[in-house]
Amino acid sequence: MANVNNFVASLQGGGARANQFRVSFPALGGGMEFLARSAQIPALTIGEIAVPYRGRQIFVPGDRTYDAWTLTVFNDTGFSIRSRLEGWANQIQNIGAVVDQSGFVYRDAQVEQLSRDGTSTLRTYNLFGVWPTTVDAIDLAWDTNDTIEEYGVTFRFNYMTIIPRTNSSNLRAGAGG
Is residue 173 over pLDDT 60?
Answer: no
Q: Which domain holds residue 119?
A: 15-45+68-176
Beta-carbon neighbour count of residue 112 at 10 Å? Answer: 20
CATH of the domain at 170: 2.30.110
Residue 58 lies in a domain: no
Residue 60 lies in a domain: no
Are 176 and 159 spatial neighbours (Cβ–Cβ below 8 Å)? yes
Are 157 and 42 spatial neighbours (Cβ–Cβ below 8 Å)? yes
- Distance between CA 16 and CA 6 in Å, rounded? 18
Q: In the chain, what percentage of residues exceed pLDDT 90?
A: 62
What per-residue confidence (pLDDT) applies to 59?
97
Residue 142 lies in a domain: yes
State in Å, rounded, how far the first CA of the chain is from the last one: 42
The tens digit of pLDDT for each residue in 52-75 reads 999 999 999 999 999 999 999 999
The total domain count for the chain is 1
Residue 86 lies in a domain: yes
Residue 108 lies in a domain: yes
The radius of gyration of the chain's CA atoms, rounded to the nearest angstrom, is 21
Q: Which residue has the higher pLDDT, 26 or 77?
A: 77
In this prediction, residues 9-25 reach a mean pLDDT of 86
Residue 127 lies in a domain: yes
- Distance between CA 78 and CA 76 in Å, rounded? 5
**Global confidence as pTM:** 0.82
Lowest mean pLDDT among 6-10, 70-74, 118-122, 138-142: 6-10
Torsions phi, psi of 120, nearest 5? -140, 160
Torsion angle of C-alpha atoms 87, 88, 93, 95, degrees rounded to 10: 0
Taking CA atoms, 13 is separated from 21, 43, 116, 122, 166, in Å, by 16, 24, 8, 11, 16
**Ramachandran category for residue 13: left, alpha or beta (phi over 0 → left; psi -120 to 50 → alpha):** left
Residue 114 lies in a domain: yes
Q: Residue 98 is which amino acid? A: V
In this prediction, residues 77-84 reach a mean pLDDT of 93
Q: 42 - beta bridge partners?
A: none
Residue 61 lies in a domain: no
Lowest mean pLDDT among 18-22, 93-97, 144-148: 93-97
* Secondary structure of residue 89 in the 3-state scheme: helix
What per-residue confidence (pLDDT) applies to 167?
54
- Distance between CA 32 and CA 24 in Å, rounded? 6
